[in-house]
Structure 1
Amino acid sequence: MKVHRDGLGTILVAYLGVLAICGSVIYFVDCLVIRIFAGIVGVVPVAFLPYFFRVPKRECICENGLVTSAADGKVVIIKKVYEGEHLRREAIQVSVFMDFFNVHVNFYPLSGIITYFKYHPGKYLLAFKPKASEENERTSIGMKCFNGQEILFRQIAGTFARRIVSYAEVGDEVEGATQCGLIKFGSRVDIFLPVDAEICVQLGEEVRACETVIAKLSSCPEN
């Protein structure tokens, strides 16, 4: 299993912290039961950290006009909204919520050029709440695909996810289904699509990054 490079620092810090705490308990506490309990409480969660930062192998769908999911998780929002940060027009918002056990790596939803990037500090509301899209810590990434249409997607931190990693830089030409970053310990990804896009998922549907088609853009050139 491959571990994401941006998770290695978190894993190391967690290991050192648990080692220090367990070592202190063993050294200062004579009660065997407390020693065992401290070891279990500290070691078991940390042992799963490499799993949380795993990088999956996926059968990627990369076709003109197809927008794939940027994250693993469940579709929690599909609605028409006004996107006022970058697109400044009505759009269809599709939001995917990642729980603690989903893959944390995010992927570009289509091929194109990065036209916009901004990091927003913010709150840490529960990620599935609608207000999280505008009030939580987040990154906003605008992309123009090769037929001229533009989308925006956001990596949104949640209650426990307090570190967003993004590789996007304005002007970069990127390929769909390649890594765009990481949200540590789950959260949510919003995608804002043209209003005439054909939505291919339903509320409550479980989706997989790179493999699940979220939408088909209209007026796409033939492959």
Structure 2
Amino acid sequence: MRIHKEGYPTIFLSIIVVAVINLLTLFLLAPRYPVLTWIILIATVGLLIFIFSFFRIPKRTHSSGSDLIVAPCDGTVVVIEEVEADEFFKDRRIQLSIFMSPLNVHVNRNPIDGEVLYSEYHPGKFLVAWHPKSSTENERHSVVYRSLSGREVLVKQIAGALAKRIVNYLKPGDRVHQGGEMGFIKFGSRVDLLLPVGTQIDVKINQKVQGGVTVLGKW
């Protein structure tokens, strides 16, 4: 396991804050309130461990195949339905949405091999990630991939109530590999996929998925 590069500034700042809090607690509270001192120490160290965990990248064997669509993130499948596309596409698509809790691995990965046709950031609200309108009203970054066979899929990184920063590394014209990093979302969020109608979906509502590992469907 390693720590994602997006976590370095946050972790560095967190270590400083935790150290300052505990030094002040040690000198100001410890002599008179030893129990409170221990509570603060345990709470702050626990928070620091959580922050380290949030930016973890575990070692995994990723799935691959030109006919496969793999999960772009860890989380729980919360939506599988046919919708009218609201961005880039003009037809109906299968929307598959994955909710990411703060405890999930938060690196986002390319679901297919291919070329990036479109990469666009949209400012917006910070509704809770499971809200139906979060897909269209929240801050988000959308990427459209064209597979080697010519099929196209749109992936939206969507901010939630706690997610205040979306990072995306892709630009139009990039050639990408399935399972490679597309970006990162900080502290709880959601990822939507818009797939061609007729795509075979191999997951179900409330199923837990792993980014780069779980096969969501097949062309």
TM-score, normalised with respect to structure 2: 0.93
Write out aligned runs for 1:1-223 (5 A): 1-29=1-29, 30-217=32-219
**AA of the residue aligned to 2:207:** E
* Deviation for aligned residue 1:81: 0.8
RMSD of aligned Cα (Å)? 1.4
User: In the comparison of the two structures, how many residue pairs are matched?
Assistant: 217
Instruction: Tell me the distance in 2 between the aligned counterparts of 1:124 and 1:209.
Output: 23
Instruction: Tell me the distance in 1 between the aligned counterparts of 2:203 and 2:36.
Output: 50
Contact 1:69 1:214 in 2 (8 A): yes
Instruction: Tell me the distance in 1 between the aligned counterparts of 2:126 and 2:42.
Output: 29
* Deviation for aligned residue 1:48: 2.7
Kindly provide the CA deviation profile for residues 171-210 of structure 1, in whole angstroms up to 9, marking residues without a partner as x.
Answer: 1000011111111123111000001211111111111112
Contact 1:87 1:151 in 2 (8 A): no
* Deviation for aligned residue 1:129: 1.6
Indicate the SS of the match to 1:48. helix
* Deviation for aligned residue 1:57: 2.0
TM-score, normalised with respect to structure 1: 0.92
* Deviation for aligned residue 1:82: 1.2
